A and B are shown apart, each in its own frame.
Chain A
Amino acid sequence: MADLQKTPLFDLHVELGAKMVPFAGFEMPVQYPLGVMKEHLHTRSKAGLFDVSHMGQVILRGENIVADLEKLIPMNVGALAVGRQRYGFFTNEQGGILDDLMFANRDDHIFMVVNAARKDHDIAHLKKGLGEASVEVLEDRALLALQGLGAEDALAKFDNNCRDMRFMDVRDLKLCGAECWVSRSGYTGEDGYEISVPNGKAEELARALLSDDNVEAIGLGARDSLRLEAGLCLYGHDIDETTSPVEAGLVWAIQKSRRETGDFIGDVAIMKALKEGPVRKRVGLRPTGRAPMREGVVLFKSETSIDPIGSITSGGFGPSFGGPVAMGYVLNHFANEGAQVFGEQRGKRLPIDVVNLPFIPANFKR
């Protein structure tokens, strides 16, 4: 793994006994000795600490940054209050999704977090699309996510000001003497925080958080099953350049004003899809048997039908749900709770119920 990058927490992961795997050009912990199942359950019931330093942290500044950014993402950037964060995505001319992201209004700049695997792409896209604006990629900051029911209590030991933050609030907090940028957000469906911390203080902060009996280090394996149960999309799997936000069920992230006025890349295609409705939709898929069904499983309307009606884009075992869970795309006709479809696995057609997402309701502090 010589060519892989390491996050500032690499030595800590190894010391904790993590199994390291290559992920998006980084050597990342997929699981710790606790194992995926227990890590997942611990996060929901207590608190889990994730190293997400592989993700891209970007600062955008410029006189016309709001208007310029609104060309690249169909979100209402201008209406985002100082100290607030939103979910968003870059779109292409066909109305597909180039990456999904979080962006925050930090008064004199916009702070954006993008997916690790799309970082280089996104930065080039921002530099090209934003013209005069400054696109500063932060290589000197790590990113930690503290997630779960006990996240607030665990973080409040360092700075009580985290308590009255609401979901998607962004604030500067001093943690272990480090200037941290903290948002009340995450990608597990649980309450929690994402903490941008200077590289030099990342390990100290992580160790301090982990010294709390309620906080365990959690790997990418559990991160994936947590977000899947929460019905959240994984870029490159559930959404990509060929999926529109309309069929992905992400229209909620496009504020009403933007749906009406357009003026963003892909506006024609997305407004058309909004008007006409999508051909296929992303849905929750619950295999009725015990066998997990994973990405790539092709879906059919019956045990004998020939034409596929969709496929699974993410799937596995849901530890909190207590059974197999999946999501994927099905033709519109099948995209309603209660519809039954069949997934072909190891030469057999196994029944799957179409269900509404999420599998586990979100615990955000709204």
Chain B
Amino acid sequence: MKFTEEHEWLEKDEDTVSVGITEHASEALGDIVFVELPEIGTMVSKGDEIVVIESVKAASDIMAPIDGEIVEINEALIDAPSSINESPLDAWFFKIKPSDPTQFDSYLDEDAYTAIIS
């Protein structure tokens, strides 16, 4: 598992990368009440804001951490946004088929991420 400085986690499956938010992000956002996911088939570029999260406090965006195609979305989150707060590392938002596999490797490992949030 890799981590971004924007508090997203990435996990490599076979030929896709799942993306979610870290516990640190989930706690900072507060109770999540709404999630808007991208459409399957969308081509995204690193830095594109592709997910909207609304918590009781405010709206925030999740960015695509890598270039590629959205091949799967976690529709269960739409009906149960609070599951993100309950278990952020299980709550993946979308899976990307990367167009540049080296982008994944450029992110932080767990120790490096833990260091920046502590």
Q: Which residues of A contact B (CB under 8 A)?
A: 31, 35-38, 221, 225, 290-292, 294, 316-317, 319, 324, 346
Contacts and interface: CB of A to CB of B under 8 A. Distances in A.
A290 B34 contact: yes
Given A290-B78, A291-B36, A294-B59, A35 B31 contact: yes
B54 interface: yes
A32 B100 CA distance: 43
B92 to A, nearest CB: 20
29 contacts: A35-B30, A35-B31, A35-B56, A36-B30, A36-B31, A36-B56, A36-B57, A37-B31, A37-B56, A38-B31, A221-B30, A221-B56, A225-B56, A290-B33, A290-B34, A290-B78, A291-B34, A291-B36, A292-B34, A292-B54, A292-B59, A294-B58, A294-B59, A317-B31, A317-B33, A317-B34, A319-B56, A324-B34, A346-B52
A316 B32 CA distance: 12
Nearest to A323: B33
Interface string B52-85: 1010111100000000000000000010001000
Interface in B16-62: 30-31, 33-34, 36, 52, 54, 56-59
Contact of A316 (B36, B52, B56, B78): B56
Nearest to A322: B33
Contacts of B57: 36, 221
Interface of B: 30-31, 33-34, 36, 52, 54, 56-59, 78, 82
Contacts of A324: 33-34
B91 to A, nearest CB: 16
A36 B52 CA distance: 20
A32 to B, nearest CB: 12
Nearest to B36: A291
A54 to B, nearest CB: 19
Given A35-B31, A292-B33, A317 B78 contact: no
Contacts of B78: 290
A346 B54 CA distance: 12
B54 A317 contact: yes
A346 B51 CA distance: 12
Nearest to B33: A317
B52 A317 contact: no
Contacts of A221: 30, 56-57
Contacts of A225: 56
A138 B104 CA distance: 60
B21 to A, nearest CB: 16
A316 B82 CA distance: 16
A35 B30 CA distance: 7
B31 to A, nearest CB: 4
Contacts of B54: 291-292, 317
The 4 A-B residue pairs with the shortest CB-CB distance in the complex, in nearest-first order: A37-B31, A317-B33, A36-B56, A292-B54
A317 B53 CA distance: 13
Nearest to B81: A290
A292 B57 CA distance: 10
A310 B30 CA distance: 30
Given A37-B30, A292-B54, A324-B33, 8 more contacts: A35-B31, A290-B78, A292-B34, A294-B59, A316-B56, A317-B31, A317-B54, A319-B56
Contacts of B30: 31, 35-37, 221
Nearest to B61: A346
Contact of B56 (A290, A291, A317, A346): A317
A294 B57 CA distance: 10
Nearest to B52: A346
A37 B34 CA distance: 13
Residue among B36, B56, B82 with max Cβ neighbours from chain A (10 Å): B56
Contacts of A294: 58-59
Contacts of A316: 56
A36 B32 CA distance: 10
A36 B55 CA distance: 10
Nearest to A291: B34
A292 B33 CA distance: 8
A305 to B, nearest CB: 24
